[in-house]
Amino acid sequence: MIELQCINNILAENNIETYLEEGINEDFFPSYTKEWNYILDHYNKYGKVPDQATFLATFTEFDLIDVLEPPKYLLENLREDYVFRQSAKLFNESVELLKQNAFEGLRNILSKGEKLLVSNSITHGTDINNIVNQKLEEINSKKRIDGLLGISTGLKELDDVLGGWLPGEEFVTIVGRVNQGKSWLLQKFLTSAHSQHKRVLLYSGEMSAMQVGYRHDTLAMNYSNRQLTRGTISDLEFTNYENDLKKRAKELEPFIVVTPKDLGGKYMTVSMLKALCKKYQPDIIGIDQLSLMDDERRGENRRLQLANITMDLFRLSEELGKPILADAQANRNKTSSEEPENPELADIGEADAIGQNSSRVISLVQTKLGLSLLVTKNRYGENNKKFIYSWDIDLGTFRFVSEEGSQKETELPFKNDRNDIPQGMPNPVDVF
């Protein structure tokens, strides 16, 4: 009945825009799909809804009825009817999964059910004239922290380019080849955030919480990782280590490590990660590594699965307002050169979509000069900046050596007055 009412309302009021603005499509009209598509095609072709006579010439059996309810009421009921049908379909699909594995069936219901709710939570655009105060407040806050937009990376040179890890719409991928230090660099960033009194959540697909803990202590307090893991630390150092551990545990926020063991031997999914974020309320999230996550959408191949995972992670960052950092595998070095090169976006071995769905991509490689970090993608600023660090992996120390590949654009005056632009400087409109 609600579908019939909506079609009649559109015809009578000559108003399909209200429905389109709310994201309504043919899926909402299973009983009147042809009628809806006819009206939509006519609107797209002629800029208006067909009149009733034109419509009835095609759909001779259609029931014209008077609709007294306002569009808002009709839309709410149309959407509720759609959600009910989709929910019933979801539960029917999940019955077999529940029989096979209760946990998998429940995860399927929770994951797809949540996506159904999100997809039907329609919001409209923002008039930037109405966010003047927010913009002024944001600029002032950035001025107070010397231009740092988010959580510091722990490396000043990288902060100068990235502005730190942003509070949302921030999915960062760290790319490197085998045994180049991806996990170490990821933990360096997370440990630095933890030292800034930020709450951290790390999914560790390979290492135990104990192994992560030792690396954390090396990076945070520069204790020899070799001595910690082998138990060869001196008595004096052990006493200092004990005191430092207790001091940090008392003063700092939690650093939560979740492993497949904690998940009943299963790999992490985005829905599981979201649930853990609600539980622990982290300020920053780490994933070591992307290939050890599971796709809830069950993509037909691994590349599609990773595309799904990375897109969902970006959306999760946006939803939570928290940065998410993950590491990913790169292909083997293509050149025969003695000096290995930083992997680029095309070198991400697991899926092209990983780079596409990332707001930032940082690649790393160990060279003769030291650890080379290349900003291969930066959605919010400068790309292709390379930094070389002398890195003592046993003590967790990083010392800046050099910088390459600066590609800064010519700075314009703060207030762009066309008359004040020097000759030869690009038009401000063309710069962005």
Could you tell me which residues come within 8 angstroms of residue 61 by beta carbon, excluding any fewer than 6 positions away? none
CA distance 374 to 187: 17
In the listed set 90, 119, 148, which residue is the last one of a domain according to the structure? Answer: 119
In the listed set 318, 342, 357, which residue is the last one of a domain according to the structure? Answer: 357
Which of left, alpha, beta for 63 (phi over 0: left; psi -120 to 50: alpha)?
Answer: beta
Instruction: Say if residue 289 is preceded by a cis peptide, omega within 30 of 0.
Output: yes
Is 280 within 8 Å of 199 (Cβ atoms)? Answer: yes
Q: What is the pLDDT, as a whole number, of residue 251?
A: 92
Q: Which two tokens stand for residue 143?
A: 């001025």
Residues of the chain whose pLDDT is less than 70?
A: 114-128, 131, 135, 138-147, 299, 332-339, 346, 349-351, 405-432
- What is the residue whose two structure tokens read 């999964």? 97
- What is the residue whose two structure tokens read 């904690």? 262
CA distance 31 to 3: 7
Q: Which two tokens stand for residue 379?
A: 């959605």
Q: What is the pLDDT, as a whole number, of residue 67?
A: 86
Q: Is residue 424 part of a domain?
A: no
Q: Are residues 201 and 292 in the same domain?
A: yes
Q: Are residues 48 and 115 in the same domain?
A: yes
Nearest to 20 by CA among 2, 40, 45: 40
Could you tell me which residues come within 8 angstroms of residue 180 by beta carbon, excluding any fewer than 6 positions away? 364, 365, 366
Q: Is residue 375 part of a domain?
A: no
Q: What is the pLDDT, as a whole number, of residue 86?
A: 81
pLDDT digits (tens, 9 = 90+) for 358-396: 999 999 999 988 999 999 999 888 888 999 999 999 999
Is 360 within 8 Å of 374 (Cβ atoms)? Answer: no
Q: Are residues 81 and 184 in the same domain?
A: no
CA distance 234 to 239: 9
DSSP for 46-93 reads HSSPPPHHHHHHH-TT-------S-HHHHHHHHHHHHHHHHHHHHHHH
Nearest to 358 by CA among 422, 425, 415, 290: 290
pLDDT digits (tens, 9 = 90+) for 212-229: 999 999 999 999 999 999
Q: How many CB atoms lie within 10 A of CB 354?
A: 27
Q: Could you tell me whether strands 171-176 and 255-258 are parallel, antiparallel, or unpaired per DSSP bridges?
A: unpaired
Q: What is the pLDDT, as a whole number, of residue 118?
A: 62
Q: What is the pLDDT, as a whole number, of residue 23?
A: 77
Q: Is residue 382 part of a domain?
A: no
Nearest to 182 by CA among 193, 173, 191: 173
Is 374 within 8 Å of 353 (Cβ atoms)? Answer: no
Q: Are residues 86 and 171 in the same domain?
A: no
CA distance 232 to 302: 43
Q: Are residues 178 and 109 in the same domain?
A: no
Q: Which domain holds residue 221?
A: 165-357
3-class secondary structure, 326: strand
Q: What is the pLDDT, as a whole number, of residue 419?
A: 41
CA distance 175 to 326: 9
Q: Are residues 243 and 321 in the same domain?
A: yes
Compute CA distances 389 → 19, 176, 254, 396, whole Å. 56, 16, 29, 12
CA distance 120 to 283: 28
Q: Which two tokens stand for residue 422?
A: 């020097």
Q: Is residue 136 part of a domain?
A: no
Q: What is the pLDDT, as a whole number, of residue 46?
A: 85
Q: Are residues 93 and 193 in the same domain?
A: no
Put simply, whether the predicted model's pTM sits higher than 0.75 gets the answer no
Number of domains in the chain: 2
Q: Are residues 191 and 82 in the same domain?
A: no
Nearest to 386 by CA among 368, 356, 407, 355: 407
Is 325 within 8 Å of 174 (Cβ atoms)? Answer: yes
Helix 270-280 vs helix 302-320: crossing angle, to nearest 10: 20
Q: Are residues 61 and 186 in the same domain?
A: no
Q: Is residue 273 part of a domain?
A: yes
Helix 102-119 vs helix 270-280: crossing angle, to nearest 10: 80
CA distance 12 to 4: 12
Q: Are residues 283 and 196 in the same domain?
A: yes
CA distance 260 to 281: 20
Q: What is the pLDDT, as a whole number, of residue 376?
A: 92
Q: Are residues 78 and 197 in the same domain?
A: no
Q: Is residue 379 part of a domain?
A: no
CATH of the domain at 240: 3.40.50.300
- What is the residue whose two structure tokens read 């280590």? 241
CA distance 282 to 66: 54
- Residue 285 corresponds to which amino acid? I
- What is the residue whose two structure tokens read 């999100």? 118
Q: Which two tokens stand for residue 15?
A: 């108003």
Nearest to 218 by CA among 399, 398, 400: 398
Q: Are residues 292 and 175 in the same domain?
A: yes
Percent of the chain with pLDDT over 90: 42
Q: What is the pLDDT, as a whole number, of residue 407?
A: 41
In the listed set 119, 144, 179, which residue is the last one of a domain according to the structure? Answer: 119
CATH of the domain at 81: 1.10.860
Q: Which two tokens stand for residue 423?
A: 């000759």
CA distance 75 to 80: 8
